[in-house]
Amino acid sequence: MITLIKLSSLIIFVMLNKFTSDYVVLCISISSFSQLKSMKIVRNLELHIIHSCNLHCESCAHYSNQYHQGLVTLGEAAQWFEQWQGRVQPISFSLLGGEPTLHPQLAEFVPLVKKYFPHSKLRLVTNGFFLERHPDLPRFLRSYPRAELHISIHHDSPEYVSHLQPQLDLVFQWQQEYEISIKILNSQKYWTRRYYGVGSQMEPFADNQPRQSWENCPAKHCLQLFQGQLWKCPPLAYLQLQAKKYSLSEYWQPYLNYTPLSSNCTEPELHEFLGREDESYCAMCPSEPQIFSLPNPIENISVK
């Protein structure tokens, strides 16, 4: 639910993320609001800047556990932002992957988002393992008044924690020095299965209850900007990568037929797209949350 509060010179949007219990707040001046009111407000727009990941979390919603390669360049991102700037106003803009710290130009995405979506809250979501490669990152984050660095923890074994500890120490040093906002997310605690198997053996759920799948979906507010188009969620967007790399079974075909929204859409088309809740595609997801204990994803490190 989005709540709108109007004060004398400010308009405040308040949104509750029911999965993390976080409140997301967007404050904008009345004068900015008049420029923004023609845009469609979206809760969360995500840019997955790289397809590879150093971890292999079973049932990763972005399929980044399945050995994909490739990244989004700053030039591509700027072009996509240009196409959607002025049409959608994300309350929250998320940079993630794959593992975003594997992108050599990660830090430069921060000012790029600030340039095109200055009213959004920026979330950079990372597993944290390669933060030391980005010494400019805290300086850029500090310059973005509403930026947050989210460190997502994917296992609680001593081995995992000892690998991550030097990066956590660095993050807390950045927090002291640059006063940036840090959140530690215990992602493994809420881990759910999104599909069965991996690679060519991967199969969708067949519960055939799309409404219930959507209602229980942790990704239903994770609108993706991918290849310059808007996609409903990560499992539909990056299924394209899976199909290019693996020989997927016929059961995926209906979901591979999903059509994203292009930036040359009309305003009514944009309005209709953003208003969709469950669609037939949601049938590929579980109708009830499938909680399981995530095996240690560090045991399978393959990308360095």
Give me the residues that bind ligand SF4 (CB under 6 A), please.
Answer: 53, 55-57, 60, 62, 64-65, 97-99, 127, 154, 213-214, 217, 219-220, 232-233, 235-236, 281-282, 284-285, 297
- Please state the closest distance from residue 281 (CB atom) to ligand SF4, in A: 5
Query: Is the Cβ of residue 57 or residue 137 nearer to ligand SF4 in the bound state?
Result: 57
The two tokens of residue 92 are 């929250």
The answer for residues whose C-beta is within 8 angstroms of residue 215's C-beta and 6 or more apart is: 278
- For 88, other C-beta atoms within 10 Å of its C-beta total 19
Nearest CB to ligand SF4, comparing residues 145 and 275: 275
The CA distance from 228 to 231, in Å, is 10
Total residues found in the chain within this entry:
304
Q: 94 phi and psi, to 5 degrees? A: -110, 130
d(CA 161, CA 149) in angstroms, rounded, equals 18
For residue 36, the SS3 value is helix
* Minimum separation from the CB atom of position 284 to ligand SF4 (A): 6
Q: From CA 234, how far away is CA 220, in angstroms rounded?
A: 9
Minimum CB–partner distance for residue 38 and ligand SF4 (Å): 27
- Least distance in angstroms from the C-beta of 298 to ligand SF4: 10
Q: Is 151 left (phi over 0), alpha (psi -120 to 50) or beta?
A: beta
Cβ distance to ligand SF4 smaller for residue 109 or 214: 214
Q: Shortest approach of ligand SF4 to residue 84 CB, angstroms? A: 19
In the complex with ligand SF4, the residue whose CB is nearer, 71 or 282, is 282
The least distance separating ligand SF4 from the CB of residue 12, rounded to whole angstroms, comes to 28
C-alpha gyration radius of the chain:
19
Quote the strand ranges of 58-164, DSSP E. Answer: 88-96, 121-126, 147-152
DSSP 101: G
Whose Cβ is closer to ligand SF4: residue 138's or residue 297's? 297
Residue 68 or residue 119: which is nearer to ligand SF4 going by CB? 68
CB of 20 to ligand SF4, least distance (A): 15
H or E segment to which residue 124 belongs = strand 121-126
Cβ-based nearer residue to ligand SF4, 85 or 209: 209
